[in-house]
Chain A
Amino acid sequence: MRYQNATAYRFLAPYLLIFSIFWLWPIISSFLISFQATRTVPWRFAPTFNWGRLIGDPAFFNALKNTLLILVIQVPVMITLAIVMAVLLNSPLLKARGLFRFAFFAPVVVGEVAYSAVFRLMFNLDYGIINKLLNSVGLPRIDWFSNVTPAMAVIMIAVSWRWAGYNAIILLAGLQSIPQDVYEAATLDRVSKLKQFFYITLPLLKPIIVFCAVLSIIGTMQLFTEPFLITERGGPGGGTETLGLLLYRQGFKSLNFGYASAIAYTMAGLAIAISLVQLWLTRDPK
């Protein structure tokens, strides 16, 4: 193909313009801002001002700890659930497939605010349907939002509910791209369905599982709306405060842009590390 620079860039121009203004420059800019003291006018260059504060800030480590805790528990549980959903939805034995697909995929269209409101109400101490149901089967009700562990559990349940189906959609498409004759051959050789799952499905699905895991990790790492709305600004007492919430508080409540940028770049560092792990996990075996 011959080079058609002028034509190509005419088509790309609007996209690249938006990218340059609203992504490229901000990526550079927030890196620079993280080395400035931003609560003085004018801002001044102070390389250790924000980063020095970051490594000695208990609020930062609390948010980091909570974020990683949610990541380590919620993402594997949700991905496992999504794999189960995808495999079962793909089963030729399934009746009323459309209804099941609707049940699992519907949360994908539900907005964060709408579902945060519902979960908050469902887990209400005195009048929440969850505690009423627990009571009705003789179990004690749980004070979900006054204690850290149950509050974290509600966040993880809510996020998993919202995103499991989304991942199942991607995984289901991956399953359907696996050629059927592999399974037919295995069935002829009397390989059990369970073994087929572990020795055929999982290895072939691995790149897509890793892709889902990475997107989920990066999404959960920036978790904001759920602790903001469901557990009321990261409550109880900062017990569900996440990096996303801390960034919001520092950047947009205290207007401390320098410190918030340092927090943002910490997230970026984690994301880069995770992407490298992804590349390593999905590398071509030599």
Chain B
Amino acid sequence: MSSRPSSSRSSSRLGRSIALHLFLTPLALIWLFPLWMMVIFSTMPDRGIFSPSIELLPHGSFLDNVNNLQRDTNFIGAIGISVSVAVTYTFLSVLLTSMAGWALARYQFFGKGVVVAIILGTITLPYAVVLIPQFIMVARDFKLANTWVALIVPPLFNSLGVLFMRQSFSMMPGDLFDAARVEGVKEWRIFLFVALPLARPMLAALAIILFLASWNNYLWPLLINSKPGAMTAPVALGTLIGLTKVSWGGIMAGAVMLTVPMLIVFVLLQRHFVAGIAAGAIK
């Protein structure tokens, strides 16, 4: 059989390309639709949201809606708590996680296999199993309900992040660290001043994922910080959903304030974001 002429091959390529875009474009629009509607709703007055007409373009009531939201719950205060908690959590968790990842990547020690097995085991363990004792311990035994400590400390344990950092550190050339050791540099200094700077892209990926996890965390903050002045932003917003006399424009403005900053971070740092998530599975 003779080989097909190249013109027909390139036209079939064109056909495939058109089919690909014809399929993917509507799917992408459907996927963007809820986010688009979130933004539209947040700019509409309540009587506009609850009217029979179809509205697909933004209006001008965003600031009114923010005011309505602030009247329904102290959302700005809750945002303040969420930001502070997420920043503190991210810093502590990156430190803890990379220290543990460093130890697992770079030292031989008694019980290493057990530690790795534990970390792998917790990936598939439902969080529900630890939730109740965590709550009893933090709320009743430590009396820490409605504090920042309660929001920050219990979620510090994570397993995928440690595996990610172990992977990152073990891919670095060992000679580099040995050279520092020969010079008599202490181990913690090697970690802080040689290893961590080298791992900067991985740390960025880890930090973004951890920040997002803290920012969006709902169940634990809902349980442990339920007092109005101690709520995080998602919890404060959640209390409004389902109430009868509440501004839905306000709720949508809150949803936008929670989501749009993260979308901007996502666009700016997409590479790190994707690397951090993908690292969960790729060994």
Contact = CB atoms under 8 A, between A and B. Distances in A.
Interface stretch (B60-68, B196-204, B213-221): B213-221
Interface in B228-266: 234-235, 237-238, 241-242, 248, 251-252, 254-256, 258-259, 262-263, 265-266
B57 interface: no
B237 A252 contact: no
Given A23-B130, A117-B241, A271-B125, A166 B277 contact: yes
A15 B157 contact: yes
B148 interface: no
B176 interface: no
A18 B237 contact: no
Interface stretch (A58-66, A70-78, A96-104): A96-104
A21 to B, nearest CB: 8
Contact of B128 (A126, A222, A272): A222
Contacts of B108: 1-4, 8
B37 A122 contact: yes
Contacts of A4: 107-109
A113 B134 contact: no
Contact of A113 (B212, B255, B265): B255
B41 A121 contact: yes
A85 B131 CA distance: 34
Contacts of B262: 109-111
B16 A93 contact: yes
A165 interface: yes
Nearest to B42: A118
Determine which residue in A118, A177, A243 has the highest number of CB atoms from chain B within 10 A of its CB, and name it: A118
B49 interface: yes
Contact of B278 (A27, A173, A232): A173
B32 interface: yes
Nearest to A274: B124
Given A116-B241, A117-B237, A173-B282, A3 B133 contact: no
B71 interface: no
A9 interface: yes
26 contacts: A5-B110, A11-B103, A18-B154, A21-B137, A22-B156, A23-B130, A26-B134, A29-B136, A30-B133, A95-B21, A99-B28, A101-B270, A109-B273, A110-B35, A111-B218, A111-B262, A113-B234, A113-B237, A121-B252, A126-B50, A133-B54, A166-B277, A172-B274, A224-B219, A232-B242, A248-B219
Interface in B17-49: 17, 20-21, 23-24, 27-29, 31-32, 34-35, 37-38, 41, 49
B143 interface: no
A46 interface: no
B126 interface: yes
Contacts, number: 286
Determine which residue in B109, B223, B252 has the highest number of CB atoms from chain A within 10 A of its CB, and name it: B109
Contacts of B97: 15
B48 to A, nearest CB: 10
Nearest to A98: B270
Given A14-B99, A106-B266, A268-B125, A212 B281 contact: yes
Given A121-B41, A122-B37, 12 more contacts: A3-B108, A7-B109, A7-B187, A8-B103, A8-B107, A11-B103, A14-B96, A26-B137, A109-B216, A115-B255, A172-B278, A247-B128
Instruction: Identify the 5 closest CB pairs spanning chains A and B, nearest first.
Output: A173-B278, A26-B133, A111-B216, A103-B28, A114-B255
A116 B270 CA distance: 24
B162 to A, nearest CB: 7
Determine which residue in A106, A114, A121 has the highest number of CB atoms from chain B within 10 A of its CB, and name it: A114
Contact of B218 (A27, A29, A225, A278): A225
B171 interface: no
A100 B37 contact: no
A111 B32 CA distance: 15
A94 interface: yes
Contacts of B157: 15, 18-19, 22-23
Contacts of A267: 126, 128-129
A117 B24 contact: no
A131 B187 CA distance: 63
A140 B38 CA distance: 24
Contacts of B219: 224-225, 248
Contact of B99 (A15, A121, A218): A15
B126 A268 contact: yes
A118 B131 contact: no
A105 interface: yes
B13 interface: yes
A79 interface: no
A173 B282 CA distance: 7
Contacts of A102: 266-267, 270
A25 B126 contact: no
